[in-house]
Amino acid sequence: MLFISGQIALKPGENILANADIIEETHQVMQNLKSILSEAGMDFNHVVKTTIFLSDMELFGQVNEIYGKYFEGDFPARETVAVKGLPKNVNVEISMIALQ
């Protein structure tokens, strides 16, 4: 069982955000999650639960469209919540639980 804490759009090995817009930001978050899953010998097919934190629910449609492109077949259980603030003032943060 792998618990991945919330990931934001930080570029790996740097302290730079990839957040020119919500599309770039969401792709970077998903790529960060993909890298962590890969290091554990897993992929998105192993994910059973995600939590998406958004700075504004108006972003849900765009984030959901990008998020959905990373999964094939059945989607994992998911909850999406709007929060008052996220680290480094990002717009999206995603955590995951995966099973080997």
User: CA nearest 38: which of 85, 9, 6, 70?
Assistant: 70
For residue 60, what pLDDT band results from cuts at 50, 70 and 90? very high
For 36, the domain range is 2-98
Q: Is the pLDDT of residue 58 over 90?
A: yes
Q: Which residue has the higher pLDDT, 56 or 74?
A: 56
> How many domains in the chain?
1
The CATH number covering residue 76 comes to 3.30.1330.40
Q: Any idea what DSSP says for residue 76?
A: P
Longest distance between any two alpha carbons in the chain, whole Å: 34
pLDDT value of residue 35: 98
pLDDT value of residue 42: 98
pLDDT value of residue 73: 85
80, with CB counted inside 10 A (0-12, 13-18, 19+), is middle
